[in-house]
Amino acid sequence: MVKDNKVIETMLNHKSIRDYTDQKPSDEIIEKIVRTGQQAPFASQLYSVLLSRKGNIQFGAPLLFTICVDFHKMEKIMEKRGWEAITNDISILLMGIQDAALMSENMVIAGASFGLGSCYLGAAPYRAKKIKEEYNLPDRVFPLVQLVMGYPAEEKPPRPRYPMDFVLFEDEYPELDDNKINEAMKVMDEGYLAQDYYEELNGKIPIKDDEKEDKYTYEDYSWTEHISRKWGQRYPDSERILEQLKECGFDVE
């Protein structure tokens, strides 16, 4: 039997927080969170963290972190060693995304250990040009994700996740039959409905296709319909993200 474990308990209790108190974390706590982020596994430490404590931060949080893929620093180090980067930008970005994503997750866990809540803002890559201007970023630095953090002013339960047999596949990827898919959808949808998640968030995504009828109310609108509308309507082509990458000095065309 697995014994009680505070780290596991903290991770399993994770949820996004969208309402914060006015209390501000100390500089010591902030530095400890970032230092813990640095200790995540990495390919080449292709990351940097931007911090803002000014302005109207989303959800009233006192801290806004922007975790970036950063090849600018690596190029400076390589220059000192007499090397020039010839690796293609797609490979650099894939390694950098791993580095920055793992760092940000460590920061979330570290923050939770200090009683802080957080919420990822995943649209940062589509706002890269604006973020670059705000923070005076050099080329070869790309904002991957933003993270608001502070002391929670709300207490929410953890959000549902897929059942284990829809996630953990040993030796080979199984055929996903209707029963398995339906059970996974049921777990997610019933879990979110039980928490009134989308109704409280007023988070129903409108249907853009005039030929599709919206038959859902908040009594039955839940995760699988929400996520289907999201990926069934947003970003139909790659031009927008390629433009943002180009603005930050990455060539992936």
Tell me the pLDDT tens digit for each residue of 201-247.
999 999 999 999 999 999 999 999 999 999 999 999 999 999 999 99
Residues 40 and 64 in one domain: yes
Please tell me the predicted confidence (pLDDT) of residue 14.
Answer: 95
Please tell me the predicted confidence (pLDDT) of residue 128.
Answer: 98
> Does position 55 have pLDDT exceeding 90, yes or no?
no
Is there a domain that residue 194 lies in?
A: yes
What does the alpha-carbon distance between residue 108 and residue 122 come to, in Å, rounded to a whole number? 14
Mean pLDDT of the chain: 96
State the pLDDT confidence band at 4, using cuts at 50, 70 and 90: confident
> Does position 190 have pLDDT exceeding 90, yes or no?
yes
Please tell me the predicted confidence (pLDDT) of residue 135.
Answer: 98
State the pLDDT confidence band at 62, using cuts at 50, 70 and 90: very high
> Does position 22 have pLDDT exceeding 90, yes or no?
yes
Residues 109 and 213 in one domain: no
Residues 105 and 84 in one domain: yes
Is there a domain that residue 242 lies in?
A: no
Residues 151 and 168 in one domain: no
State the pLDDT confidence band at 115, using cuts at 50, 70 and 90: very high
Residue-level length of the chain: 253
> Does position 193 have pLDDT exceeding 80, yes or no?
yes
Domain count, the chain: 2
State the pLDDT confidence band at 253, using cuts at 50, 70 and 90: confident
Domain range spanning residue 93? 6-155
Please tell me the predicted confidence (pLDDT) of residue 79.
Answer: 97
Residues 224 and 150 in one domain: no
Is there a domain that residue 58 lies in?
A: yes
> Does position 197 have pLDDT exceeding 80, yes or no?
yes
C-alpha distances in angstroms, 91 versus 10, 231, 239, 248, 252? 33, 25, 19, 16, 10
DSSP 39-81: TS--SS--EEEEEE-SS--GGG-SEEEEEEEE-HHHHHHHHHT
pTM of the model: 0.94
In this predicted model, what pLDDT tens digit does every residue of 120-157 receive, in sequence order?
999 999 999 999 999 999 999 999 999 999 999 999 99
Residues 128 and 28 in one domain: yes
Arithmetic mean of pLDDT, 81-100: 97
What does the alpha-carbon distance between residue 66 and residue 82 come to, in Å, rounded to a whole number? 31
> Does position 2 have pLDDT exceeding 90, yes or no?
no
Residues 181 and 201 in one domain: yes
